Amino acid sequence: MDIKLDAKSPQGPIENRWAKFKGEMKLVSPANKRKHTVIVVGTGLAGGAAAASLGEQGYQVKSFCISDSPRRAHSIAAQGGINAAKGYMNDGDSVYRLFYETVKGGDYRSRESNVHRLAEVSRDIIDQSVAAGVPFAREYSGELANRSFGGTQVSRTFYARGQTGQQLLIGAYQAMMRQVDEGTVKMHTFREMLDLVIVDGKARGIIVRNLLTGEIERHVADAVVLATGGYGRVFFLSTNAFNSNCTAAWRAHKRGALFGNPCFTQIHPTCIPVSGDHQSKLTLMSESLRNDGRVWVPKKKEDCGKHPNEIKDEDRDYYLERRYPTFGNLVPRDVASRAAKVVCDEGRGVGESKRAVYLDFRDAIKRVGENVIREKYGNLFDMYHEITNENPYQVPMRIYPAVHYTMGGLWVDYSLMSNIPGLFVLGEANFSDHGANRLGASALMQGLADGYFVIPYTLTNYLGSGKLEKVDVGHDAFAKAEGDTNKRLESIVARAKVGGARTVLEIYRDLGTTMWEYVGMERTDAGLKTAITKIQALRKEFAAGFKLVLPNGVKERNQLLEVALRVEDFLELGELMAIDALDRRESCGGHFRAESQTEDGEAKRDDENFAHVSAWQYTGDPSKPALHKEKLVFEYVHPTTRSYK
């Protein structure tokens, strides 16, 4: 495949580019929209908003999700809030500032045109969500409340208690269900996309497995929109939902879609530490806690076993305040996470595992009173109490970084279209606007921007630009893709029959441990090579056999079979992440290569050699992907060293 990466961003002053695109785009008349079928996979913020908007416009939308209801998408778990450059607080915010901070926060590894558009439409998202009935927090004046979040110096984050993701998702879900009632959206729950169907070089359909009956189905359309979320679960332990997976994106990748910056992973600094081998997921404690909590560890190793309340102030190391006096506890996520790792590596971690630091509210409670703290964070404190059996009003919380978000994803152009015409990718699933590090409260913004305000235009432009041939599910390409899927399922049955030393979950946990150890917060040349060897060995084990019980084959509901199919894809993606991390011999954002750091341990970027998107092509051998580069040009936000000192 000959690939030329062209983002196709409009030219001219950055603030006019989106308007220019909209002004020049091709349209589809209302009467013709009805004749187009569009597949939307995923019902999170990105997919839910896309299906609602495209249905509203009159397209025939087929929507798919793996859960029993579209409302269960992983977006529901987002707590803290959503950014928008409304400037309501009169504190110096603007579209330009949000654009600037997002490019800088992403450590100069995102595309300026896309990010500017994101900042522009952020304002519309709030208007849309309020119109849809999202009960955002309000002031006594009746106006919307804003807070500062995740290290920004302006207050631009809108929130609905600690349940912002839930409320925004329910807003999109309700708008989509209205379209179901109108007959423009047809909902397919309990369906997992297992392959992409390409006809004449264009994305024209998908193969899905009905998770209740095990039946394999073919679905045809004029375009396919993937909004299937991130792949943080490759680490097994993460804050992501249990069923989050990479399968839809990975299968599209294996059919030719390029994977952009797979190694860019966000490790969130404030999560509840791992408590044992049984653990199935990690729980995030919202970043907003860092507004009032102070992060510390004992100065002396000997104190680490002591009860925290017995350690005197002068024996505490408030290391973020010490290292970053300007931003203190509010430094961006990547910086805060790494700093926690450093103190734990020095042997100053706390808790049973010694892999934790304190997040302490003692001073805030003294300053404003327990009631104010309870009002702000009550639900989070309760959640912490429930999980750890410790009362954070009395004892500092123990926290540790955990995998949270993946900035990498399928490569897309300005229209959010992959290199396969007709395949659009939205939300966390695309390689996104966040570069090498995402700022807090910006994923919800991006998901809804993509779904409500970008795809309705760019998809229409695509469909209006040329005639598509008539294709139905009888086409050879569908038969071939379905055949491939069936072969895969048969092979799983065969391997389950062979058996093996370990269950699917045991192998999966092992992959996760390997990824966390070598492709996690700190990456080295030797470590990444070790990871590659280990992943290849795991893949070999998995290819030979595993323990999985399939009493009636694959034609029935079996959740562990679903996990097996996903693990097979994670075992390939994991290696690509290591290969990408190995290739990127610089530190930037969440990607920290130990070989590339300053004397005081800060990340050292290499703009001369790495100011590009690494877009990987599948070649048939997961160990030998081909690299394509999209050069990043910075006309507005000129790369400087990110300093939060």
Ligand X SMILES: Cc1cc2nc3c(=O)[nH]c(=O)nc-3n(C[C@H](O)[C@H](O)[C@H](O)COP(=O)(O)OP(=O)(O)OC[C@H]3O[C@@H](n4cnc5c(N)ncnc54)[C@H](O)[C@@H]3O)c2cc1C
Residue whose entry in the numeric block shows the structure tokens 């808790």: 351
Under the binding rule (CB under 6 A), the answer on residue 332 touching ligand X is no
> Contact between 25 and other proteins (CB under 8 A)?
no
241-260 binders of ligand X (CB under 6 A): 244-245, 247-248
State how far the Cα of 26 lies from the Cα of 456, in Å rounded to an integer. Answer: 12
Rounded to whole angstroms, the Cα distance separating 174 from 263 reads 35
Shortest distance (Å) from residue 376 CB to other proteins? 14
Q: What is the contact mask toward other proteins in residues 129 to 168, using x (rule: CB under 8 A)?
A: xxxxx-xxxxxxxxxx---------------xx-x-xxx-
**Under a CB-based contact definition with an 8 Å cutoff, are residues 239 and 383 in contact?**
no
* Residue 62 interacts with, from other proteins, ligand X, none (CB under 5-8 Å by kind): none
Distance CA 261, CA 584 (A): 9
Query: 527 CB contacts (<8 Å, ≥6 apart)?
Result: 517, 518, 519
Using the rule CB under 6 A, which residue among 21, 33, 43, 401 binds ligand X? 43
Report the site for other proteins in 79-108 (rule: CB under 8 A): 86, 88
Instruction: For residues 389 and 19, give the distance between their C-alpha atoms in angstroms, rounded to a whole number.
Output: 54
Among residues 28, 40, 46, 119, which is the contact residue for ligand X, using CB under 6 A? 46
How many Å apart are CA 597 and CA 286, to the nearest integer? 29
Interface with ligand X: number of residues (CB under 6 A): 46
For residue 123, with 0-12 CB atoms within 10 Å meaning exposed, 13-18 middle and 19 or more buried, which class applies? Answer: middle
3-state class of 397 per DSSP? strand
Residue 235 or 319: the one with the smaller Cβ distance to ligand X is 235
How many other β-carbons are positioned within 10 Å of the β-carbon of residue 516?
19
Among 125, 304, 350, 444, binds ligand X (CB under 6 A): 444
Which of positions 316-375 make contact with other proteins (CB under 8 A)? Answer: none
Residues 417-476 that bind other proteins (CB under 8 A): 452-453, 456
Name the phi and psi angles at 144, rounded to 5.
-70, 140
Q: Which are the contacts of 499, defined by CB distance < 8 A and separation ≥ 6? A: 545, 546, 547
Return phi, psi of residue 517, to 5°. Answer: -70, -40
* 68 interacts with, out of ligand X, other proteins, none, CB within 5 to 8 A per kind: other proteins
Element (H, E) at 541: helix 525-544
Binding of residue 192 to ligand X (CB under 6 A): yes
**Partner touching 337 among ligand X, other proteins, none, CB below 5 to 8 Å by kind:** none
Binding track over 58-87 against ligand X, x by CB under 6 A: ------xxxx-----xxx-xxxxxx-----
Q: Closest separation between CB of residue 568 and other proteins, Å?
A: 17
Q: Does residue 183 bind other proteins (CB under 8 A)?
A: no
β-pairing, 202-210 with 191-199?
Answer: antiparallel
The entry of ligand X, other proteins, none near residue 135 (CB within 5 to 8 angstroms by kind) is: other proteins
Other C-beta atoms lying within 10 Å of the C-beta of residue 604:
16
Find how far residue 201's CA is from the centre of its chain.
28
Q: Terminus-to-terminus CA distance in the chain, angstroms? A: 46
Residue type, 250: W
Q: Is 504 helix (H, G, I), strand (E, B) or coil?
A: helix
Measured from the Cβ of residue 441, the count of other Cβ atoms closer than 10 Å reads: 26
Place of tokens 């929130």: 159
Report which residue type is found at 42.
G
The one among 23, 30, 92, 276 contacting other proteins by CB under 8 A: 276
Binder to ligand X among 17, 38, 39, 44 (CB under 6 A)? 44
User: Nearest Cα to 352, choosing from 304, 318, 317?
Assistant: 304
Contact range with other proteins by CB under 8 A, out of 102-110, 171-179, 528-536, 629-637: 171-179
Nearer to ligand X, 9 or 245 (CB): 245
Neighbours of 217 (CB within 10 A): 16
* Separation between Cα atoms, residue 640 and residue 264, nearest integer Å: 20
228 binds ligand X (CB under 6 A): yes
Cβ closer to other proteins: 188 or 480? Answer: 188
CA geometry: angle at 389 spanning 388 and 395, to 5°?
85
Interacting partner of 41 out of ligand X, other proteins, none (Cβ under 5 to 8 A depending on kind): ligand X
Q: Which stretch binds ligand X (CB under 6 A): 133-141, 225-233, 318-326, 617-625?
A: 225-233
Q: Which residues in 208-267 contact other proteins (CB under 8 A)?
A: 212, 241-243
Does 47 help bind ligand X (rule: CB under 6 A)? yes
Question: Which of 127, 215, 345, 370 touches other proteins (CB under 8 A)?
Answer: 127
Residue count at the site for other proteins (CB under 8 A)?
A: 80
Nearer to other proteins, 100 or 393 (CB): 393
**Residue 441 in the binding site for ligand X (CB under 6 A):** yes
43 binds, among ligand X, other proteins, none (CB under 5 to 8 A by kind): ligand X
Query: Do residues 629 and 611 lie in contact, with contact meaning Cβ atoms separated by under 8 Å?
Result: no
Site string for other proteins, 529-548 (x = CB under 8 A): ------------------xx
Give the one entry of ligand X, other proteins, none that residue 551 binds, where binding means its C-beta sits below a cut-off of 5 to 8 angstroms depending on kind. other proteins
State the residues that interact with ligand X by CB under 6 A: 41-47, 64-67, 73-75, 77-82, 164-165, 191-193, 227-230, 239-240, 244-245, 247-248, 284, 404-405, 427-429, 441-444, 447
